[in-house]
Amino acid sequence: MIFIRTLISFLKDPEYRGLLFASAGIVTIGTVVYHYLEGWTWLDSLYFSTITLTTIGFGDFAPQTDAGKIFTIVYIVVGIGMILAFINTVYLHFKDFRDQEEQNK
């Protein structure tokens, strides 16, 4: 239940909401570009975009075209900072919310 309340409070805050939309936008851009440059399905493109930006990198997909490789270099440099900031912000928000819940008990 605390997770749902945290998520709702997160979405109500304009700063957090903006960070969420920016992160979703970066993943969407990557998905579209990989779909057209590499000819992957939408799901494979979304999967690769997400795996790349979360730095998991399973290695089951890799760009084969020069344009795809160049895009990936730029995508990683720009996207990782944004996604890590998003993950850190979500964690800190959840931690603060949980701490407030514990203080109110």
| Tens-digit pLDDT profile for residues 20-34 | 888 889 999 999 999
Sign of the C-alpha dihedral computed for residues 50, 53, 57 and 62 taken in this order: positive
Q: What angle do CA 19, 22, 23 make, to 5 degrees?
A: 85
Q: Which domains does the chain have, with CATH numbers?
A: 21-94 (1.10.287.70)
Q: Reduce the DSSP state of residue 93 to 3 states and report it.
A: helix
What is the C-alpha separation between 40 and 59, in angstroms, rounded? 15
Identify the CA nearest to 24 among candidates 56, 57, 46.
46
Packing angle, helices 66-103 and 2-12, rounded to 10:
110
What the block records as the tokens of 66 is: 């020069």
Task: Tell me what the mean pLDDT of segment 79-89 comes to.
Answer: 83
| Tens-digit pLDDT profile for residues 12-61 | 877 778 888 888 899 999 999 999 999 999 999 999 999 998 888 888 98
What the block records as the tokens of 18 is: 């903006």
